[in-house]
Structure 1
Amino acid sequence: MELLLETVALFCLKLAYETEGSSPILRDDPIMSDYEREVFGLLVRRGDVEGIQFRVAHCVGLALDALGGVDTPLGRELHRLSADLSNARTLEQFGAPLIELKDYLKDIQ
């Protein structure tokens, strides 16, 4: 799950900060320091659902702004998918929404 969470964060930050012609954002980029696999791993081991949701929501918010907000078709879909994740109450409930969110972010890169 940690890798999946890190991937979602990476794709969100790529949407928010990566510009054409610049160096791509990678997993070891300083911007990823709060969203590394180890950080998510610690939250997962603690069972900190709210902490995970907070970090993912922050990244999704940045991506949503980059897409023009919820008034755009891409933004509405991103918002819908992130809402599914924010409604999860246990780590086990993160599975499907997290995969759908990752796949969507990958597709719109």
Structure 2
Amino acid sequence: MELLLETVALFCLKLAYETEDSSPILRDDLMMSDYEREVFGLLVRRGDIEAIQAKVDECLKLALNAVGGVDTVLGRELHGLAANFSAVRMMEQLDAPLIALKHYLKDIQ
């Protein structure tokens, strides 16, 4: 699950900050330091779903802003997927909304 969380964060940051004329954002970039696999791994081992959701929500807000907010087609879809992720209350239920977010963010890159 840690890799999936890191991937969602990476895709959000890529969407928010990567431009055509700049170097691609990579997993080992400084801006990914708060969203590394090890950081998420610690939260997963603790079962701290609220902290996981808060970290991912930070990234999703950046991505939502990058696509023009909830008033755009891309933004409405992303907002709905983010709401599904935020509604989860048990660690075991995180996979499906995370996978949906990952695929959507990858597709809109």
Q: What is aligned with 1:39?
A: 39
Structure 1 CA distance, aligned partners of 2:93 and 2:62? 24
1:92 aligns with 2:77: no
Counterpart Cα distance in 1 of 2:91 and 2:103: 19
What value does the CA root-mean-square deviation take over the aligned residues? 0.4
Letter aligned with residue 63 of structure 2? A
Structure 2 matches for 1:48-63, cutoff 5 A?
Answer: 48-63=48-63
**In structure 2, what is the Cα distance between the partners aligned to 1:99 and 1:9?**
12
Query: Which residue does the alignment assign to 1:65?
Result: 65
Aligned residue in 2 for 1:83? 83
Following superposition, the deviation at residue 36 of structure 1 comes to 0.2
Note the residue ranges of structure 2 that are not aligned, 5 or more in a row.
none
For 2:61 and 2:36, the matched residues in 1 are separated by 18
What are structure 1's unaligned runs of at least 5 residues? none
Q: What are the Cα deviations for residues 1-56 of structure 1, in whole angstroms up to 9, with x where unaligned?
A: 00000000000000000011100000000000000000000000000000000000
Paired amino acid for 1:42: L
Q: TM-score, normalised by structure 1?
A: 0.99
Partner of 1:8: 8
TM-score relative to the length of structure 2: 0.99
Give the Cα separation in 2 of the matches to 1:11 and 1:95: 16
Answering whether residue 3 of structure 2 is matched by residue 30 of structure 1, we say no
CA distance in 2 between counterparts of 1:66 and 1:95 reads 24
